Amino acid sequence: MIIRKLIGIILIISFSSCAKHKPVNPNPPNPADSAALTDKVLTDQLTLPWELVWGPDNFIWMTEKRGVISRVDPATGIASPVFTIDDVQISSEGGLLGMALHPQFESTPQVFVAYNYSNSGVYQEKIVRYNYNGTTLTDPKVLLDNLSGGNIHNGCRLAISEDLKLFRLNGKILRINLDGSIPDDNPFPSSAIWTFGHRNPQGLVFAAGKLYSSEHGPDTDDEINIIGKGANYGWPTVRGFCDKPEESEFCANNEVAEPIKAWTPTIAPSGIDYYNAEGIPQFKNSLLVALLKGSKLLQLKLSEDGSGIVQESEFLSDKYGRLRDICISPQGSIYICTSNGTDDKIIELNGVID
């Protein structure tokens, strides 16, 4: 499948405002300078939210698989629909998926989305750019289409890099310019492919000068990868690390990039984000991962240079059901959406320092 992040964007392919704050029991114990954690339901009655993006307007931008894009007020939990995409087609894991906002949104109010549609009866995927006029989305421009869609393994996130490239996940990670053209410095001539050898990537984030992805393995070896230009991540020959005799020769001959973390049994990592705010000191320099399996939030503390994971902690285990995606406010509030299929929610997680 194709991975979302194009130049400036990579595509990897909820609420009750009156709920009281409830303490979260972290594991392992927090250090002395840590904050106590509280969680509450911000809004509910959502339908399979997929993407959460913190907008420069200080609203949470959200996609729901049924084709609706909304802005959620973090102060009230009110979700206000912005636009409905008519040709979105849901089929199992497919529908309206990834979204990214232009990094200079206030001066260039562009919204990028990835979704599945029917092309003469063939289930496919496209990336479309819209303009936001302050009320709704206008002027759709298709940047990529006729991409393979699927009933399963249809993860599709978008991310935009500092040099304004859009990335997308889906078996491969694709990289394009924000006008849909192919960058001259892509690793394969006249191709949007940035990396390959992925199975089912679900999350994508730029952090600490690197691009990280979360990826589903088959029955073993879910992964966190650092994405490098032109790299081969091994699938379908390699699962996780190059640690089996039958994998060793292939890895050596193809310069396979190994993950920085792999899990067996699998955990079904979905959306990821990077935390480096002051609100929850113990979360600084960490990847936060929403897990579908086990229904929990995973904190992965990064090494100082970001090349490895030095600590793993779990939160919200089995409390809200399957967790799909995460976004973080500049002040450090964490927002997590569920993916249960009925009465989905956005959860707000905060730190309280005595």
Question: Taking the chain (354 residues) in consecutive chunks of 10 residues, what is each chunk's mean pLDDT?
Answer: 38 27 39 85 97 97 97 98 96 92 97 95 94 98 89 80 89 93 96 94 93 95 97 96 94 97 96 96 97 94 97 96 97 97 96 83
pLDDT for residue 156: 83
- CB-based burial of residue 40 (10 Å sphere; 0-12 exposed, 13-18 middle, 19+ buried)? middle
pLDDT for residue 4: 36
Exposure string over 135-148, b if 16+ CB within 10 A, otherwise e: eebeeeeebbeebe
pLDDT for residue 151: 67
Residues in contact with 245: Cβ distance below 8 Å, sequence separation at least 6, in sequence order: none
Euclidean distance between CA atoms 229 and 226, whole angstroms: 10
Euclidean distance between CA atoms 342 and 354, whole angstroms: 37
pTM of the model: 0.90
Q: Measured between alpha carbons, how far is residue 247 from residues 201, 239, 252, 330, 331 in Å?
A: 21, 9, 9, 43, 45
Do the bridges between strand 172-177 and strand 2-7 make them parallel or antiparallel, or are there none, so unpaired? Answer: parallel
E strands of 171-302, at which residues?
Answer: 172-177, 193-195, 200-207, 210-216, 222-226, 261-263, 269-275, 286-291, 296-302
Contact (CB, 8 A) for 343 and 64: no
pLDDT for residue 200: 87
pLDDT for residue 31: 53
Euclidean distance between CA atoms 26 and 8, whole angstroms: 35
pLDDT digits (tens, 9 = 90+) for 215-255: 999 999 999 999 999 999 999 999 999 999 999 999 999 99
For the chain, domains (ranges, CATH) are: 2-352 (2.120.10.30)
pLDDT for residue 153: 64
DSSP string, 320-347: SS-EEEEEE-TT--EEEEE-SSSSEEEE
Cα torsion angle, 75, 68, 137, 171, sign? positive
Euclidean distance between CA atoms 22 and 49, whole angstroms: 23
pLDDT digits (tens, 9 = 90+) for 302-331: 999 999 999 999 999 999 999 999 999 999
DSSP string, 227-249: --TT-B--TTT--SSS-SHHHHH
